[in-house]
Amino acid sequence: MTGGGTRSLERLGALLNEWPHPTLHHPEALGHALQGLCAAGLDQLPQPGGGHTLQRWQALATVAAWDLSLCKLYEGHTDALAILAHFDAPIPDQTTWGMWAAEPPQARVTLTAEQHHGNVRLNGRKAWCSGAGVLSHGLLTAWNTDGEQQLVAVALGQPGVQVTNDGWQAVGMAATGSVEICFDEARGQLIGPPGGYLVRPGFWQGGAGIAACWHGAAGRLGEALRRHCSERDEPHALAHLGHVDCALIAAASALRDCAAWIDANPAADAELPVRRVRAIVEHRATEVIEHVGRALGAAPYCRDAALARLLADLPVFLRQSHAERDLAALGVLAARQLQESWML
């Protein structure tokens, strides 16, 4: 998909449309769908900051518009591939990956180095592991004996890896199976240097990809309202559509601008533009949910299976933003900018 542009996005959309939504209510079905995308080469996205960042985000948005739970696995898999490529790490054929970096205080994985360079043993518990039950490999953050964070790649189908049913009682995004994994002397391979996950430019670049997922899902909701308004002359629904149109156009413009900035500054710290675009898209997606519901009533929540799932899934996925904490961090960065930096 790295060189196909529009043609690759068309292939992605065509393949997705071959799968009926009711088959994707369970993690196993999502796993098979992800394998299908990989087999077609549609997981081979352009690297962030490589000149085609927008194309990468368009692929994420396309999958999100079709099924947000599948997109969660697809985004994690493609993010892991980008990180492995950044660190020149080998990627076995026919593998599917999760990227798990959450560090809640009650779940921590520690590493013990072995004699062979880069080989480690893992012990502890990792939380929020989306797709753990249906993926072949995981790329996760853990902690070495010096107290440094370290990326490690792990084959999930080995002794010492227990994928539990703990920690996931979701209704929205239920099919992602974002459970906890217990490690007991499991084998892993170090990826990159200590601290390398956070300091690489791709950390923030990848964070903007999440916003592209939010936008793709919000756009699908907006299309439902647009279709409704094209068939009925309802002034109030049209007013809501006008609001949705402004919200989605603003979010799309912000994503395009951010992608262009990243491609023009591939080695720069992208925290400020990425925090901005995530805040913009989150706010606009929330507006879309509100206005689509007010315009269409209960019907999309109750009588359309795909839209009902999307309306349950998107609010959960949006909470990958940390709300006011993220806005406060953005405020710290904005306070340091030059006066009148917002002027045209």
Please give the radius of gyration of the chain, using alpha carbons only, rounded to the nearest integer.
20
In sequence order, what are the residues at sequence separation of 6 or more whose Cβ sits closer than 8 angstroms to the Cβ of residue 19?
33, 36
CB of 313 closer than 8 Å to CB of 68: yes
Does an H or E element contain 106, and which?
none
Cα(94)–Cα(285) distance, rounded to whole angstroms?
34
Does residue 268 sit within a domain?
yes
Cα(266)–Cα(52) distance, rounded to whole angstroms?
11
pTM of the model: 0.95
- Give CA separation, 328 vs 88, 239, 309, 322, 335, in Å: 35, 32, 31, 10, 10
**Which residue segment(s) compose the domain that 30 sits in?**
6-86
CB of 122 closer than 8 Å to CB of 142: yes
* Same domain as 61, residue 160: no
* Same domain as 269, residue 328: yes
What is residue 20's predicted lDDT score, i.e. its pLDDT?
Answer: 65
CATH of the domain at 219: 1.20.140.10
Cα(73)–Cα(87) distance, rounded to whole angstroms?
21
Per-residue model confidence as pLDDT tens for the chain (344 residues)? 655 577 888 999 888 888 765 456 788 989 999 999 999 999 999 999 999 999 999 999 999 999 999 999 999 999 999 999 999 999 999 999 999 999 999 999 999 987 677 899 999 999 999 999 999 999 999 999 999 999 999 999 999 999 999 989 999 999 999 999 999 999 999 999 999 999 999 999 999 999 999 999 999 999 999 999 999 999 999 999 999 999 999 999 999 999 999 999 999 999 999 999 999 999 999 999 999 999 999 999 999 988 999 999 999 999 999 999 999 999 999 999 998 889 99
* Same domain as 304, residue 206: yes
* Same domain as 328, residue 227: yes
Cα(260)–Cα(52) distance, rounded to whole angstroms?
9
Which two structure tokens, joined as six digits, stand for 96? 């599917």
